[in-house]
Amino acid sequence: MSLFSWPVRVYYEDTDSGGVVYYANYLRFMERARTEWLRSFGIEQDQLLQRDGLLFVVRHVDVNYLKPARFNDALQVTVAVHERGRASLIFEQQVLREDGETTTELCRGHVKIACVDAASMRPCPIPDYIHMATVSQRD
């Protein structure tokens, strides 16, 4: 599986009263990385909406929280396509912290996104040009 990685810095606003990253913020980090993954292929989601009337929406998330991230940590959020469907993609994602030569996995998730018609919010096929652009993500 080809792997895309996006850097994220933990800001104070990302942390909870215990000084660790609030659990829901890992989902935000993963969302940003998926957006940047698409952008790396020249695909902008606002243009997808304007030109094709399509949106990508999260259908299902399964997340395992393994270790905490803390304020000011430099993280890497990975994106890899695990499965492709006609109207959906399932991503494997990780949030990693690199400490010198050690990499620690903090969070791992599977995220299923669906392509939907913006007007009806009904599933529709992912455009061929997106599948073609992202084909390098296959095994």
Q: Known catalytic residue: 99?
A: no
Burial 106-134 (b: 16+ CB within 10 A, else e): bbbbebbbbbbeeeeeebbebeeebeeeb
Choosing from 14, 16, 52, 73, the catalytic residue is: 16
Q: What are phi and psi of 107, to 5 degrees?
A: -155, 145
**Distance (Å, whole) CA 8 – CA 48:** 25
Residues marked active site are found at 16
